[in-house]
């Protein structure tokens, strides 16, 4: 089974997340998306919204979508700093026979060297790097500058398939549908009372849940 690992805070999950999934799943023949909500990432302030509430939002968002998914609790402990390396290592050590792909934004990939155990992470898993801005990474120039580490294998549609020096695959995928929005901005919009503006970025059912639970106010 091909499984896309989709980590993040999802606080809240928004239309950008869902649009990304709808493109990546068919283009990379993924059988399942594994959401891993990170309740205390080392690079951000601790979340004030519980794992259960985040999971509820994900379930509410996807209940009417034809996406096979699961929500992992590997990073649900808000008292512990979580790193992607340790999480992926745990998944692999669980004995799974599934083919795992780590889904990242191009901005995250550019900062990968600053992540904990990033060099070891690159030896563990294949990457799908999605871009909302094709100018952020010029793939051809990137490969030329890093020719000792990356080799272009083929270009298919919106995807560049690259072989890494760790003998893993790295895919750069240029999203067709782009949404320049972040969960942190959505929280600010809601906290300032601009609910009408939030409707542009959230499904009605997720927004109703947020308002009913009085989140971000």
pLDDT of residue 47: 59
Q: What confidence tens digit (pLDDT) does each residue in 74-85 have?
A: 999 988 888 999
- Under 8 Å between Cβ of 206 and 12: yes
Q: Which CATH number fits domain 2-180: 3.40.50.10320, 3.40.50.2300, 2.60.120.10, 3.40.50.620?
A: 3.40.50.620
Rounded (10°) CA dihedral 205, 7, 182, 191: 60
More confident: 25 or 78: 25
Rounded CA-CA distance 50/211 in Å is 16
Q: For the chain, give every domain's residue range.
A: 2-180
Q: What mean pLDDT is predicted for residues 21-48? A: 86
Percent of the chain whose predicted confidence (pLDDT) is above 70: 96
Per-residue burial over 60-83, b = 16 or more CB atoms within 10 Å of its CB, e = otherwise: bbbeeeeeebebbebbbebeeebb
Segment 121-177, tens digit of pLDDT: 999 999 999 998 767 788 889 999 999 999 999 998 899 999 999 999 999 999 988
Q: Is the pTM of this model over 0.85?
A: yes
Mean pLDDT of 61-70: 93
């Amino acid at each position: 089974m091909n499984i896309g690992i989709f980590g993040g805070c999802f606080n809240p999950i928004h239309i950008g997340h869902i649009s990304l999934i709808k493109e990546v799943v068919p283009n990379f023949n993924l059988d399942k998306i594994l959401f891993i909500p990170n309740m205390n990432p080392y690079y951000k302030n601790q979340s004030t919204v519980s794992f259960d509430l985040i999971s509820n939002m994900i379930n509410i968002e996807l209940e009417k979508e034809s996406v096979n998914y699961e929500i992992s609790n590997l990073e649900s402990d808000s008292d512990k700093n979580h790193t992607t390396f340790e999480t992926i290592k745990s998944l692999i050590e669980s004995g799974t026979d599934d083919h795992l792909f780590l889904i990242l934004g191009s901005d995250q990939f550019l900062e990968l060297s600053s992540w904990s155990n990033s060099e070891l992470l690159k030896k563990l898993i294949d990457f799908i790097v999605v871009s909302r801005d094709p100018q952020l990474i010029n793939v051809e120039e990137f490969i030329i500058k890093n020719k000792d580490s990356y080799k272009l294998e083929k270009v298919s549609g919106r995807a560049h398939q690259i072989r890494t020096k760790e003998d893993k695959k790295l895919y750069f995928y240029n999203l067709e549908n782009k949404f320049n929005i972040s969960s942190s901005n959505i929280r600010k919009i809601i906290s300032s009372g601009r609910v009408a503006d939030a409707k542009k970025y959230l499904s009605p059912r997720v927004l109703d849940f947020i308002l009913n639970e009085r989140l971000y106010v």
